[in-house]
Structure 1
């Protein structure tokens, strides 16, 4: 089971990791489809090194796994695991809490 803030261990790679997990929460995808989905969601296009490095780290941690090694395009399709789903849910809750605090502070900021 992942510990709270396991995704924080990715350091500067936390954001790409979270975006990948969000993409895979909808359905299994191969790397190119993940990058395209992230771009459609955020306008940010992760480079191949960032994307595949994060995919490797997520797979090593057990947050994702290959669903199939070979598609007809020769691409590996990744699937979110139950551990990955739990870690993503915890991370999104933490991000939402920070967002609420930030919004409250911004709304109370005297300018």
Structure 2
């Protein structure tokens, strides 16, 4: 997306889904998104113009409500029943092990927003 101009150019197709619900950009410039109503995760590389479909984040869930990306992993926050899924950017492998949701998030039923926090080691 060019934020300095007024033109809009379609660069990716998320069919059969109709809406992109969440977007984030990895450190290398690749964009990632989550969709509705299929609850899919996708990427778009503006350098190569290629798109990748990582598939449904959680079977039976319609929303990927939030996306956060680091060098190796896509974190997809899913609702209507709260899930946080880690997806390996290279292999597409999904995991939930080791990912903890706060009790209040589980009660809310969705992971609405995410942010990256750098962990600092002790000196």
What range describes the TM-score normalised by the shorter chain of this pair? Answer: under 0.3
Choose between structure 1 and 2: higher strand proportion. 2
* Higher RCO (CA-CA < 8 Å; seq separation 6+): 1
Query: Which is greater in Rg?
Result: 1
Normalised TM-score (structure 2): 0.24
Choose between structure 1 and 2: higher helix proportion. 1
